[in-house]
Structure 1
Amino acid sequence: MAGVLTALTLALGGAAFAAPAAHADISACVGQVERELQGGEAPDSVRMACYVGLTGDQAQCVSGLTAGGVTNGTAVSACRVAPD
């Protein structure tokens, strides 16, 4: 039982350390889009598309961003930095 609890604690602790890195990746993607918006704040749909890009689904990330009005070139470059 103690071994299971130790493993669970280590797994959850590892997830906590991974979370800030994931946030930074989404921020890089959103930042690319916000630069195109020239200082405007990206809507939630952009954040969701960038999250999809973080999971590695580049095509869905690009289509989500372009559906939200982002140019294709910016969408491709933003989705490229999401999983970095």
Structure 2
Amino acid sequence: MRTSTRIAGALTGLTLALGGVAFIAPAAHADVTACINQVERELQGGEAPDSIRMACYVGLTGDHAQCVSGLTAGGVTNGTAVSACKVAPK
């Protein structure tokens, strides 16, 4: 196989891989944002601290129990924590 063909193939693969990440990243960000926004509504306009943001990120990975635990440890009511963690992985 010629070097130019290999380089073209590698660049095509890289372009497709990076393009796929670009399509996935906004969806993941939106899910964490939905979780954070739900918590911030309970805080009545206050900005969620980093511990809340991290708990929502854990919810994005699918660990619902750890997400709820992290949010309640951060002062969020159990009902809001459960509903916020449900929207994180979607």
TM-score higher than 0.5 here?
yes
1:35 alignment partner in structure 2 = 41
Q: Which amino acid aligns with 2:20?
A: G
Partner-residue secondary structure (3-state), 2:15: helix
Instruction: Provide the aligned C-alpha RMSD in A.
Output: 1.0
Q: Which amino acid aligns with 1:83?
A: P
Q: Where does 1:20-31 land on structure 2 (aligned, <5 Å)?
A: 20-31=26-37
Structure 1 length-normalised TM: 0.92
Out of 59, 64, 69, the residue aligned to residue 65 of structure 2 is 59
Structure 2 length-normalised TM: 0.86
Structure 2's unaligned 5+ residue stretches are 1-5
Q: Where does 1:1-84 land on structure 2 (aligned, <5 Å)?
A: 1=6, 2-84=8-90
**Alignment length, in residue pairs?**
84
**Whose Rg is larger?**
2
Q: 1:8 Cα shift?
A: 2.2
